[in-house]
Amino acid sequence: MTRYLLDTNIISDATRPEPSKHLVSWMERQADEDLYISSLTLAEVRRGILEKPAGKKRGALERWFSGPEGPQALFAGRVLPFDESAGLIWARLMAEGTARGRPRSALDMVIASIAEANGCVVATANEQHFEGLPFINPLRKPD
């Protein structure tokens, strides 16, 4: 079975009032134990909430984030860290991009390096930033 590391944009889409029908269909076909998020995704989601102005929307997002449907609860035991192994992979990915004259996004390569270190394929809508790396775009209509 393939393990997937969900990029932040996949989590964002999945939590919209009307998520992508292709994403919903794809996620329904996956076993929960094969879906992971990174510590960076957790941080990016939390940052997005903290940067919202105080009010009803932020309050609802904070309750969701810390509640039973939030990412920490849904992915308990499946939040992958940026560790030593991922750090060494990150350095290689960044250097490869520079050598090709196509510098890569440092944060996207944190996601890619965590995925590689843990034997996962990145699930992302950001195809351009992950070009040449193992990824799928579950927001696209399946072939």
Condensed to tens digits (0 to 9), the pLDDT of residues 71-127 reads 999 999 999 999 999 999 999 999 999 999 999 999 999 999 999 999 999 999 999
What's the pLDDT score for residue 15? 87
What's the pLDDT score for residue 80? 98
What's the pLDDT score for residue 16? 87
With 60 as the cut, is the pLDDT of residue 143 above it?
Answer: no
16-29 pLDDT, tens digit each: 889 999 999 999 99
25-74 pLDDT, tens digit each: 999 999 999 999 999 999 999 999 999 999 999 999 999 999 999 999 99
With 90 as the cut, is the pLDDT of residue 5 above it?
Answer: yes
- Scored b (16 or more CB within 10 A) or e, 110-126 reads bbbbbbbbbebbbbbbb
Cβ–Cβ < 8 Å for 58, 45: no
